[in-house]
Amino acid sequence: MKTTGARSLIVYVFSVAFAAGLLFFLGEYMINGGQWAVQPFNKHISQGTALTGKVLDRNGEVLAYSTEEGRFYHEDPSVRKAMLHSVGDTAGYISTSVQYSYRAELAGYNLFTGLGTPLGDRTAGNVTLTLDADLCKTAYEAMAGRKGAVLVCDYTTGEILCMVSTPSFDPQNPPEDLFTDETGKYEGVYLNNALSGTYTPGSIFKLVTTTAAIENIPDLDSRTFTCQGSQLINGNPITCTQVHGTQSFQDALGNSCNIAFGELAVELGNDTMMNTARSLGFGSSLSISGISTAKSHYDVEGASPDELAWSGIGQFTDQVNPAHMLSLMCAVASQGTSVEPSFVKSVSGGLGLNLPGMASKGNSYMSASTANRLQEYMRSNVRDYYGESWFPGLEVCAKTGTGEVGEGKQPTGWVVGFSSRADLPLAFAVVVEEGGYGSQSAVPVAGAVMQQAAALYK
Ligand SMILES: [Zn+2]
């Protein structure tokens, strides 16, 4: 009896292990089967795994499609370049694109019959983006050959209307010097800067310092700050762009005064600055239509007072990701909580199912009262300091930035913001590498794109 008992136990253990293994495989198969089937190294079926479905923009404009001759892209070369990082290239180098991340759906894979069907031919799915191709083209052309990223989204739905990363190339006719160029014009061309890039923020980071100040300094609006153009902190000079004299907090933000914000960061302290940055999403990735963004970085652990001052001005080791900045602007525009941005509207599956894009969750960054005060300060920036000429009638709230990067390079130009008009719920983030002042490089790009986007809401 004893032997029989031991033998049944062994059989039992093996059966359970087998069942568990089978369940694990089925689970993996359900989740990853499509990706396995269309892996580029699956050579024996690579001819049959060609992308056959269409990629469309939010208005049904066909951005990519296939014929027996191969894969084709939109007829307008500027649209093709503007959409490259969202749509993708035929070789699959752009890993943040839908032709990469939705390649199973576009190749017509389904869970039950794989790449084949009982009737012999497969039905490829189509991917519809939330992007507006015309708007992306405008952004691409406004970048005028400079590197960077442009993002515009609807902050009530999270739908990204414009996402452009430069440099780019034409996926229909990839340039012959794409791999051999040594001038650096294609440097980072496979990267979607909007999702995967990080940059020195410069003064747009003063919005983070402002958030910490709103939440920790009760008499902020009755304070005055004195700027004489330079100020020693810890024996090291913090320099400003000019002599701003005595200012209120609102003036200091409007003037983007380094002295005021350096002093505020030191007063708030390392821990408060780090906790505020963390609660605003620094150190975390967003998932945008299933793609993880690069993390924004803020770390003043053990930093000296002068380093802390520069960190509050958006220098030191500060780095920010454009999509994260967009998400933060959505939150400031909507009571402190942002709907996670997305750029895939829907995917029609091979079985005729119409699936929505990846579900998005909200990011709660700050209280409604903090968001409302930030909004008022940012509205005053444009109305009283920058001027409305780039955004006529759009009631824009914004902050510009100029990130010093050293290495003999021109600074990184930034502008982030949103329209405060309820009938025009648009947020934006624009970064121009080596653009110089944000007010002269990024603001005109944001202005051109926002004015065109506003026309869509009439
Ligand atoms: Zn100043």
Q: What is the 3-state secondary structure (H, E, C) of 380-393?
A: HHHHHHHCCCCCCC
pLDDT at site 352: 46
* pTM of the model as a whole: 0.88
Ligand 1 center from residue 174 Cα (angstroms): 48
**Domains of the chain by residue range:** 196-343+359-455
Q: What is the Cα Rg of the chain in Å?
A: 25
Q: In the numeric block, which tokens belong to residue 157?
A: 């739905």
135 three-state secondary structure:
helix
Dump pLDDT digits (tens) for 57-79.
Answer: 999 999 999 999 999 999 999 99
Cβ–Cβ under 8 Å, residues 85 and 194: yes
Cβ–Cβ under 8 Å, residues 55 and 129: yes
What single-letter DSSP state applies at residue 345? E
Residue 455 dihedral angles phi and psi, to the nearest 5°: -65, -25
The DSSP annotation for 367-413 comes to -HHHHHHHHHHHHHIIIIII-STTSTTS-EEEEEEEE---TTPPPEE
Ligand 1 center from residue 420 Cα (angstroms): 28
Cβ–Cβ under 8 Å, residues 129 and 58: yes
Cβ–Cβ under 8 Å, residues 334 and 155: yes
Measured CA to CA, the distance from residue 277 to residue 296 in angstroms comes to 9
Ligand 1 center from residue 46 Cα (angstroms): 61
Burial of residue 11 (CB within 10 Å: 0-12, 13-18, 19+) is exposed
Ligand 1 center from residue 253 Cα (angstroms): 10
Q: Which amino acid is at 419?
A: S
- 3.40.710.10, 3.40.50.720, 3.40.50.300, 1.20.140.10: CATH of 196-343+359-455: 3.40.710.10
pLDDT at site 326: 98
Ligand 1 center from residue 245 Cα (angstroms): 7
Ligand 1 center from residue 227 Cα (angstroms): 5
151 three-state secondary structure:
strand
Q: Which of 83, 94, 86 is nearest to 134 (CA)?
A: 83
Measured CA to CA, the distance from residue 419 to residue 3 in angstroms comes to 79
Within 8 A by CB and 6+ apart from 41, the residues are none
- Token match 């039950």: residue? 112
Ligand 1 center from residue 322 Cα (angstroms): 26
Ligand 1 center from residue 63 Cα (angstroms): 48
pLDDT at site 51: 84
pLDDT at site 263: 98
Measured CA to CA, the distance from residue 15 to residue 178 in angstroms comes to 55
Longest CA pairwise span in the chain (Å): 96
Q: In the numeric block, which tokens belong to residue 286?
A: 């967003």
**CA 225 remoteness from chain centre:** 34
Ligand 1 center from residue 444 Cα (angstroms): 24
Q: Output helix, strand, coil percentages for the chain, rounded to the nearest 5.
A: 40, 20, 40
Ligand 1 center from residue 294 Cα (angstroms): 32
Element spanning 293, H or E = none
Ligand 1 center from residue 385 Cα (angstroms): 14
Q: Which of 360, 353, 281 is nearest to 319 (CA)?
A: 281
Residue 341 dihedral angles phi and psi, to the nearest 5°: -65, 150
Distances in whole angstroms, Cα of residue 311 to Cα of each of 129, 145, 204, 269, 416: 37, 30, 12, 11, 18
Cβ–Cβ under 8 Å, residues 117 and 123: yes
Residue 197 dihedral angles phi and psi, to the nearest 5°: -90, 155
Cβ–Cβ under 8 Å, residues 435 and 411: yes
Q: Which of 433, 440, 450 is nearest to 145 (CA)?
A: 433
Q: In the numeric block, which tokens belong to residue 250?
A: 């609102």
Task: Find the angle CA(62)-CA(31)-CA(290) to the nearest 5 degrees.
Answer: 50
- Residues within 5 Å of ion ligand 1, judged at the Cβ atom: 227, 240, 244, 257, 259
Residues of the chain with pLDDT under 70: 1-3, 28-49, 110-122, 349-361
Ligand 1 center from residue 274 Cα (angstroms): 24
Give the neighbor-by-neighbor strand order of the sheet with 55-56: 70-73, 62-67, 55-56, 126-129, 344-348, 354-356
